[in-house]
Amino acid sequence: MSQRIANIGEAVVSAARAAAELWMVYISTLAGIWRAITRRKAGRGRPKGELVRQLHAIGNRSLIFIVVTLGFIGMVMTYEACLQLSRVTGDYSQVGPQYIRLVISDFGPTLTAMMLATRVGAGIAAEIGSMKVTEQVDALRMSGVLPIDYLIVPRFIASVVMTLLLSTVACLVMYGAGGLTAHYSFGVNLNLFFDVQLVRMRHVVMMIVKAVSYGAAIPVVAGFCGLRARGSSEGVGWATTAAVIGSSFAVIVLDFAISAAALFVTGGDL
Amino acid sequence: MILDPVFEALGAAALRIAQEVGGIVVMTAQVVRALVPPRIDRRELVKQLYKMGNRSVPIVVLTAFFAGGLMTLQTGPFVKKLGATALAGWGAGYAVLREIGPILIALMFSGRVGANNTAELATMTVTEQLDGLRALAIDPVRFLIVPRVIAMLVMLVALTVIGDLVALTGASVVGRAMLDIEWSTMFHSFADNLRPYDFLHGVYKSIAFGGAIAVSSCYFGVTVRGGAVGVGRAVNAAVVAAATSIMLLDFFLTYLTG
């Protein structure tokens, strides 16, 4: 019995320690951005062109992946919605306006971020994890460079910018794919479908808030997992796994928290 | 020509994708062949079932709870505005059982179990443990891969069933706590509007997702090249392949079976 309590206690302590470390990584990243803006310690921050390289790696190279996966899920969603309506009322006039409202305020940014958490999160953790186990991170620290400034800050900025842009693209792709599916499978009039009367400013604001939060969470969680990698190839594998699961879960929890907060702010009229 | 690099890049990408798809198909064939006659290492199978199934329950339960709650959050206010709270369970339950539940659980499963499996197999490959097995005349496919594929198939289905239940609970809890929808209203709404087929639709999708996750994670695990960097890259490739195939399979299964 006491062994069991000891196990639980150990798990709690290590979880609390990990949470504190994660928080430290987040704060250090924000501090690193501040240093980069104010140009203190000039020349010691990130290497030249690193931000552009990260923007390309995180954004451009995810574009096809995002367009394909979100396009298909957009088709599935309208198909399911129309199928269900065809059994009940057969009135498709609300499908399009409701769909775009849901896509903008929730599905677009959240599913994009789930996909980016697997692709970008795993990539960041694998890269930083391999640098950690081959002692390149220690080498950075020895040369007087802060690993967080050098490794995580460019990825953080790139991820925030690119999650927002990719979410916008994803919303458009989902909307287009959904509209074409509704038109060709159920004969829904395209003018009736592409009707944005239900979209309010608050939905767009919610999309921006969500996309920025997810974009900030993914590189911090993944970078934290990468910096914690121990041992050799096995450690890198563990770090990558932890990054995927941690950043996906962070996306779901943030989605829930932001949606619930929005519900309270708007007084039950989401 | 100015377009030459573009064509080169396209051709290289096409060749790479063809190579990976071919490798995955060959691995599937090897797994199927190893199942006839079914000689499976039972100890390894039980170990994998426990590791992949039981230990994934917490993350699946948490994910499913939030997913169900989110569906109520998104559909609830609209339903309430129309005064049709009896339909709240319809929207949330239908979305959870047929789409969001199986997809989100499969994505989390791919992150936790698929990625972990790739990392493990890749580490064994780069440390030449697979060659060691072959030197002892043990077939790595039969000994390592078949139990993992079976365990992932079985356990994703089991976790999806659990997750569906938890997601519906989450939908009811959020409905009660944030939108003042009574438990009984929600329950009757589920019972009246959802049919057994909606549930089964999600379950058989999860069989396909489990197969896709299993085969792609094993394939990228055993074909890894080069040290710690290679292991990280293999895990990355495996989760991306799993996520893409989940979305594609979801579309085709929905479209073909309605």
Of A192, A234, A153, A69, nearest to B117 by C-alpha is: A234
Residue B196 — very low, low, confident or very high, per pLDDT cuts 50/70/90? Answer: confident
The alpha carbons of chain B give a radius of gyration, in whole angstroms, of 21
For residue B80, the model assigns a pLDDT of 75
The residue written with tokens 């509704």 in the block is: A182
* CA distance, residue B80 to nearest chain A CA (Å): 9
Neighbouring C-beta atoms of residue B152, cutoff 10 Å? 28
Give B210's contacts (C-beta < 8 A, 6+ positions apart).
B106, B109, B152, B153, B154, B155, B156, B157
Rounded to an integer, what distance in angstroms lies between the CA atom of residue B139 and that of residue B155?
A: 24
In a domain, A41, yes or no: no
Rounded CA gap, A237 and B230, in Å? 10
Shortest CA gap B241–chain A (Å): 10
Q: Which residues of A touch B225 (CB under 8 A)?
A: none
Domain extent for B208: 40-257
Output the pLDDT for position A195.
Answer: 81
Residues B227-244 pLDDT 10s: 777 887 888 888 889 999
* Separation of alpha carbons A182 and A95, rounded Å: 9
pTM for this one? Answer: 0.87
Q: CA–CA separation, B28 vs A257, rounded Å?
A: 41
Backbone angles phi, psi at A59, to 5 degrees: -90, -70
Rounding to the nearest 10 degrees, give the CA dihedral for residues A86, A88, A92, A97: -130
3-class SS of residue A42:
coil
- pLDDT of the residue at B158: 93
- Tell me whether A67 touches chain B (CB under 8 Å): no
How far is the CA of B24 from the CAs of A36, B121, B241, in angstroms?
45, 15, 10
- A vs B, Cβ pairs < 8 A, gives 169
What residues of chain B, 137 to 166, have a C-beta less than 8 Å from chain A?
Answer: none
Number of structural domains chain B divides into: 1
Could B66 and A252 be called an inter-chain contact, meaning their C-beta atoms sit closer than 8 Å? yes
Q: Is residue B25 part of a domain?
A: no
Distance from CA of B113 to the nearest CA of A (A): 8
Residue B26 resides in a domain: no
* A150 and A45 Cβ atoms separated by less than 8 Å: yes
Tell me the backbone φ, ψ of residue B205, rounded to 5 degrees: -60, -40
Tell me which residues of chain A, numbers 195 to 234, contact chain B at a CB-CB cutoff of 8 Å.
Answer: 232-234
What is the rounded distance in angstroms from the CA atom of residue A95 to the CA atom of residue B27?
Answer: 42
| C-alpha dist (Å) from residue A145 to A47, A226, B42, B90 | 11, 17, 52, 56
pLDDT at B161: 92
Please state which of the ranges A1-5, A125-129, B69-73, B86-90 shows the lowest mean pLDDT. Answer: B86-90
Radius of gyration for the alpha carbons in chain A, expressed in angstroms and rounded: 22
Domain tally, chain A: 1
* Distance between CA atoms of residues A186 and A184, nearest Å: 6
Chain A's closest residue to B81, CA to CA, is: A269
Length of chain A: 270
Chain A's closest residue to B115, CA to CA, is: A241
Residue among A76, A77, A254 with most chain B CBs within 10 A, to mutate: A76
A249: nearest CB among B63, B95, B123: B63
Q: Is the pLDDT of residue B43 over 90?
A: no
Q: Does B70 touch chain A (CB under 8 A)?
A: yes
Helices of type H across B1-145: 4-34, 42-52, 57-81, 88-95, 101-109, 115-126, 129-135, 140
Res A40: pLDDT: 57
| B63 touches A at CB < 8 Å | yes
- Chain A positions touching B254 (Cβ under 8 A) are 76, 79-80
Q: Which of A80, A114, A268 minimises the CB distance to B98?
A: A80
Asked if B219 and B240 count as a contact pair (C-beta separation under 8 A), the reply is no
Any domain includes B123: yes
Q: Return the pLDDT at A269.
A: 64
Question: Would you call B233 and A126 a contact, using CB atoms and an 8 Å cutoff?
Answer: yes
Q: Which residues of B touch A133 (CB under 8 A)?
A: 228
Q: To which residue do tokens 């159920």 refer?
A: A186
Residues 210-249 (B) with a CB less than 8 A from some CB of A:
227-233, 235-236, 239-240, 242-244, 247-248
User: Do A244 and B109 touch, CB atoms closer than 8 A?
Assistant: no
Say if residue B45 is exposed, middle or buried (CB neighbours under 10 Å; 0-12, 13-18, 19+): middle
Query: Per the domain annotation, does B18 fall within a domain?
Result: no
pLDDT value for A209: 93
Q: How far is B195 from chain A (nearest CA, A)?
A: 12
Give the amino acid at B130.
L
From CA B13, how far away is CA B19, in angstroms rounded? 10
Residue B187 counted as domain residue: yes
* Tokens coding A86: 């065809």
Residue (of A74, A57, A109) closest to A215 by Cα position: A109
Nearest-angstrom CA–CA distance, B36 and B144: 16
Q: How far apart (Å, rounded) are the C-alpha atoms in residues B125 and B218? A: 11
pLDDT of res. B258: 64
Q: Å from A37 to nearest chain B CA?
A: 32
Is B198 within 8 Å of chain A by CB?
Answer: no
- Beta carbons of A249 and B230 less than 8 Å apart: no
Instruction: Give the DSSP H or E segment for A62.
Output: helix A61-88
Residues 6 or more apart whose CB falls under 8 angstroms from that of A163 comprise: A109, A112, A113, A116, A211, A212, A214, A215, A218
Q: What is the pLDDT along chain A (270 residues), one digit of tens a residue?
A: 788 888 888 888 988 888 888 888 888 888 888 887 776 555 555 567 888 888 888 888 889 889 999 999 899 888 888 887 887 777 777 788 888 888 898 889 999 999 999 888 988 988 898 888 888 888 988 888 888 888 888 899 999 999 999 999 999 999 999 999 888 888 888 888 888 887 888 889 999 999 999 999 999 999 999 988 888 777 888 888 888 889 998 999 999 899 888 888 877 666
Report the pLDDT value the prediction gives residue A171, as an integer from 0 to 100: 92
Distance of residue B77 Cα from the nearest chain A Cα, in angstroms: 6
In a domain, B19, yes or no: no
Domain that holds residue A65: 48-265
User: Interface pTM (ipTM) of the complex?
Assistant: 0.83
Domain annotation covers residue B4: no
CB pair distance less than 8 Å for A241 and B77: no
Scan residues 97-116 of B and list those with Cβ closer than 8 Å to A.
Answer: 98-99, 103-104, 107-108, 110-112, 115-116
Q: Is B229 in contact with A126 (Cβ distance < 8 A)?
A: yes
